[in-house]
Amino acid sequence: MKRTVLLNPGPVNVTEHVRQALLKPDLCHREKEFSDLMQSIRSKLVRAFGIQNDYDAVLTTGSGTAALEMAVSSCLGEGQSLLVIRNGVYGDRIAAMAEAYGFNIRCLDTPWGVPPVLDDVEQALKQNPNIEVVALVHHETTTGLLNPVHEIGQLVRKYKKRFLVDSISGLAGDALDFERAGVDLCVGTANKCLQGLPGVAFVLVRKTELTRLEKIPERSHYFNLVKNHQAQEKGDTLFTPAVQIHYALDAALDELLEETVKGRIQRYRQAATMLRKGFREMGLEFIVPEEHGSNTLTALKLPEGVTYNGLHDRLKAKGFVIYAGQKKLSESIFRIANMGDITLEEFRRLLDALKNCLSASTPS
Ligand SMILES: Cc1ncc(COP(=O)(O)O)c(C=O)c1O
């Protein structure tokens, strides 16, 4: 089978061990074997991040957005407000989701790729006492910006608010100290830096937070966090889960536990450092200053005369899939993620291929 190297930010290339896990025997989700599998995943997730004493994992079948919807729809008490700190597509998504549920929201915006100003966050918290929950995207995949999750989390704690973090593209790729950031609800997915396959996502919820969440009226039947948690605590699921994807996630978590989150972050950082050196040598321009960049994605300006589609197709013919910019950035940038089971040798070959494609398409 010809290998395509995926440089999109998920779904990622997985190991053979994870892929083979899909071929385990057919299984009814109401049997003990599935219950054991689910509990194994829930327990490995919290152990991998060293948060087993204070957090529970709640799984849902679906993409990352499904788990995000479970967290957002379940997090806000009646008459309270949600503060969304936004600087990209995924911050906008949280606000759009909250709007769809009819929530009171306040948004604190900075331009895409620009981190929020801490003083502005503090002012917003001071001036709006009815803010109950603050939502932030850890790694804004739109631009590759790493938001200051720990500093914002400390402000959230100072004002006694709850902190909801979308770390769908951050978890296991960039550091997140749950205690230091005071995270109450953290959203993640199987198919990015965890190196599983798409179809299962999860919320890591602080156990003490569950008592508050239980008092919130049910707003979504499928995505109610408390009800899903209660069922999963009993080893049950409310609905039919993507069974085979759970097998793959369980295998991926064994690999993560072996590599350790710290080790994986280091591996990704090493790849990003090597790639960025190569990009600089090619004269490519970054859209986020390197000191604010994540370990896992680099957004680059398309050089004069190079179209995304042309570059994408030439690289794809060489076995590499790159990723377009979103919305207003769709014509001006391209993105290269370095998540997943990709070797340094493959990244070196990518740099060579990119260099060749760019010199063939830019006027000399
Ligand atoms: C930060 C962030 N949030 C949410 C999502 C949505 O995840 P999904 O496409 O799995 O629903 C993504 C996807 O890339 C993301 O990067």
Which atom of ligand 1 is nearest the CA belonging to 66? 11
238 in the same domain as 311: no
H-assigned helices in the chain: 16-20, 32-48, 64-74, 89-100, 118-127, 149-158, 209-214, 225-233, 243-259, 261-281, 308-317, 344-361
Q: 302 and 168 in one domain?
A: no
Long-range CB contacts (< 8 A, 24+ apart) of 23-32? Answer: 24/244, 24/247, 27/243, 29/237, 29/240, 29/241, 29/243, 30/236, 32/235
Please check whether residues 150 and 106 belong to one and the same domain. Answer: yes
Ligand 1 atom with the smallest distance to the CA of 9 is 14
Q: Looking at ligand 1, which residue's alpha carbon is closest to its atom 8?
A: 64
pLDDT digits (tens, 9 = 90+) for 21-53: 999 999 999 999 999 999 999 999 999 999 999
Do 251 and 291 lie in one domain? The reply is no
Encoding tokens for residue 333? 């940038």
| Cβ pair 42, 36 in contact under 8 A | no
The 10s digit of each residue's pLDDT in 77-136 is: 999 999 999 999 999 999 999 999 999 999 999 999 999 999 999 999 999 999 999 999
From ligand 1's centre to the CA of 361, what distance in Å? Answer: 32
- Where does ligand 1 bind, in terms of residues with CB under 6 Å? 9-10, 63-65, 68, 90, 137, 141, 166, 168-169, 189
Nearest CA to ligand 1 atom 7: 64
Task: Kindly state whether residues 47 and 179 are assigned to the same domain.
Answer: yes
* Cα–Cα distance for residue pair 76/38, rounded to 1 Å: 27
The domain boundary residue, chosen from 235, 258, 281: 258
Using one digit for the tens of pLDDT, what is the confidence trace for 286-305?
999 999 999 999 999 999 99
Q: How far is the CA of 305 from the centre of ligand 1 (A)?
A: 30
Is residue 218 located within the same domain as residue 326?
A: no
Percent of residues, the chain, with pLDDT higher than 70: 99
Residue to mutate (ligand 1; options 70, 168, 294; most atoms within 8 A of CB): 168
Q: What is the CATH number of the domain that holds 122?
A: 3.40.640.10
Quote the ligand 1 centre to 3 CA distance (angstroms): 24
Instruction: Name the pLDDT band for 1 (thresholds 50, 70, 90).
Output: confident
Mutate-to-test residue for ligand 1 from 7, 65, 223, highest number of ligand atoms within 8 A of CB: 65
CATH number of the domain bearing residue 284: 3.90.1150.10
- From ligand 1's centre to the CA of 32, what distance in Å? 32
**Boundary of a domain, candidates 205, 223, 258:** 258
What pLDDT is recorded for position 364?
54
Which domain, by its residues, includes 86?
17-258
pTM over 0.95: yes
The residue whose C-alpha atom lies closest to atom 2 belonging to ligand 1 is 168
Same domain, 214 and 69: yes
pLDDT at 132 (0 to 100): 98
- What pLDDT score does 362 carry? 64
| 56-70 mean pLDDT | 98
Together in a domain, 192 and 297: no
- Per-residue model confidence (pLDDT) at position 361: 76
pLDDT in the model for residue 363: 60
Do 234 and 268 reside in the same domain of the chain? Answer: no
Mean pLDDT confidence for 211-230: 97
Confidence of residue 344 (pLDDT cuts 50, 70, 90): very high
Mean pLDDT of the chain: 97
Same domain, 97 and 152: yes
Q: Are both 186 and 307 inside the same structural domain?
A: no
State the alpha helices, DSSP H only, in 282-328.
Answer: 308-317
Residues 253 and 163 in one domain: yes
Percentage of residues in the chain having pLDDT higher than 90: 98
Residue 31 Cα to ligand 1 midpoint, Å, equals 31
Cα–Cα distance measured from residue 14 to residue 94, given in angstroms and rounded to the nearest whole number: 28
Report the atom number in ligand 1 closest to the C-alpha of 141: 16
What count of other Cβ atoms lies within 10 Å of the Cβ of residue 90? 22
Number of domains in the chain: 2
CA distance 189 to 250: 13
For 134-176, the pLDDT digits (tens) are 999 999 999 999 999 999 999 999 999 999 999 999 999 999 9
Nearest 5 degrees, angle CA 343-CA 347-CA 348?
Answer: 115
307-337 b/e with 16+ CB inside 10 Å = b? ebeebbebbeeeebebbbbbeebeeebbbbb
Please say which residue of 220, 235, 258 terminates a domain.
258
